[in-house]
Structure 1
């Protein structure tokens, strides 16, 4: 492994790392479940659903799917998107997410709500809908979720002026089902849960990322891919990590193919850290 990193890419003919851990829409793999989740986001937007939920386990690919959706939606001049990526438990800053200048004011919560209502109606009158997207929404308190529901109640006649997309881990669904949030749950018009990948999907996922990076799609043997699935449970983030390490081992051994034995060597050396799964 004394060779430089550029040689690691050159060895396999890659133009870039195929298994970076940073979410990148360029590498988005359209599995059946990813297509289903994306179709649900589009459905929620086009039908003007008050609240749309997208959930999935940690590392299941929610963020990269969301990034792609927002990139596509940004081309729509009739849509204003507010994206919140860092939420905290018990937050009371819902209104300021939509209207940042409220952070500089000493208005009461009621006055801030009226200011936001004026903003939403103004956007609507100028031909724009407002979409508030909250990532890691499982961190929101019950109080914050109730405040969000109240915002989605703002409408002009039959037209709602605000749509809400909540993206989060599975516990978000549990929160929404609590009896304290029955009114919130009634406004959820679209929802989808993104599961982990099945074995055959993992094989196609690996080949896809290899091709996008400029390499051969069959660098990993099928047996290697099956072992990677078994160890990672089909979690994309863990698959990327183990594949990257396996490529490094194959390069160090001057192999052109990552075999099952290559992956096993990574596991035997204990450098791949996988969380305990149920």
Structure 2
């Protein structure tokens, strides 16, 4: 919407990671260097951890974009709380392997045959496991067991683990000693400091085609305060800031504009929680056999999910009245 107004070739602060727009802070450079070092070694595990939105997936995408496809077959999986058997099935699926019998032994055999075939072609496999903090200990141990597939002492599969900070205590558990011995490097991503936040914003604006300064110098302290240096939050704030600038026709953006956007976002977050609580309460009280279109309370719940913020507040008041009526009719005591 605002791209042509500011002369951008594309939106500079999309939430989706873009390997071509990789901003390398000091810690991001180090994490990427560890991944590249791990690739050069061809063995062991590399572990990259960090808070939500600090750029772990962006680093992984950057690494994948640099790989020689003739030498390395790389796949990236995003894990939920997968048990060992489900993890094996997901890995087999990511490499497009087919099995005749759907049991763990068949999947492991298919993976082993595939890895040996790659080796005969002078290629190897790389697995990037994103959101690895979701894996139970038994599944991480399964990854270690897969690293035992070797020919002449050379591993056939290498795994990189990317996860939130919760991954660190999992790895440090007493029964994970064998896995820790396989880790050849690890790095923890922390948020950007204010100077890096400014460099990050200016870099992405230049990449989008901006020719002249857009933000006044006093904007950056407020952006840092709101985002705490987390790139994803910086992107969220900057995208809204550029939208405000376009709607109000500002070619230069100031600290006042940043403050206005921060206030808007903060208000939206503050309203979201009570609305969600009201929706949950209404859903719990609603009779399961009543159809949505015939139950006024459930209709209001659906409207709360669909309408704008202004309409949500109006409907929320009406919903409170419906909840009280339902409580009276079903003899449910009022918690107040």
Same fold (TM over 0.5): yes
Tell me how far 1:231 sits from its aligned partner: 1.1
Q: Which residue of 1 aligns with 2:264?
A: 269
SS of equivalent residue, structure 2 residue 60: helix
Q: Which residue of 2 aligns with 1:56?
A: 50
Superposed counterparts of 1:184-263, under 5 Å: 184-216=179-211, 218-263=213-258
Please tell me whether the aligned partners of residues 46 and 161 of structure 2 are also in contact (alpha carbons under 8 angstroms): yes
1:127-163 CA deviation, whole Å, 9 max, x = no partner? 1111111111111111111111011012122211111
Q: Which residue of 2 aligns with 1:129?
A: 124
How many Å separate the matches in 2 of 1:270 and 1:138? 29
How many Å separate the matches in 2 of 1:102 and 1:212? 39
Structure 1 residue 23 and structure 2 residue 23: aligned?
no
Tell me how far 1:207 sits from its aligned partner: 0.4
Please tell me whether the aligned partners of residues 49 and 188 of structure 1 are also in contact (alpha carbons under 8 angstroms): no
Bigger relative contact order, structure 1 or 2 (CA pairs below 8 A, ≥6 apart): 1
TM-score, normalised with respect to structure 2: 0.74
Q: Does the C-alpha gap of structure 1 residues 16 and 111 become closer, same or farther in structure 2, counting only changes over 3 Å?
A: closer
Q: Which residue of 2 aligns with 1:174?
A: 169
Query: If each structure's helix is expressed as a fraction of its own residues, which one has the higher value?
Result: 2
Tell me how far 1:224 sits from its aligned partner: 0.5
Tell me how far 1:114 sits from its aligned partner: 3.6
Q: Which residue of 1 aligns with 2:285?
A: none
Q: Which residue of 2 aligns with 1:72?
A: 66
1:211-237 CA deviation, whole Å, 9 max, x = no partner? 111113621122101110011100111
Q: Which residue of 1 aligns with 2:83?
A: 90
Q: Does the C-alpha gap of structure 1 residues 221 and 96 become closer, same or farther in structure 2, counting only changes over 3 Å?
A: same
How many Å separate the matches in 1 of 2:84 and 2:106? 18
Tell me how far 1:95 sits from its aligned partner: 2.9
Please tell me whether the aligned partners of residues 82 and 97 of structure 1 are also in contact (alpha carbons under 8 angstroms): no
Alignment RMSD (CA, Å)? 2.1
Larger-Rg structure: 2
Structure 1 residue 154 and structure 2 residue 166: aligned?
no
Tell me how far 1:90 sits from its aligned partner: 2.6
Tell me how far 1:97 sits from its aligned partner: 3.6
SS of equivalent residue, structure 2 residue 214: coil
Tell me how far 1:126 sits from its aligned partner: 1.8
**Any unmatched runs of 5+ in structure 1?**
none
Please tell me whether the aligned partners of residues 210 and 217 of structure 1 are also in contact (alpha carbons under 8 angstroms): no
Q: Which residue of 1 aligns with 2:30?
A: 36
**Any unmatched runs of 5+ in structure 2?**
271-336
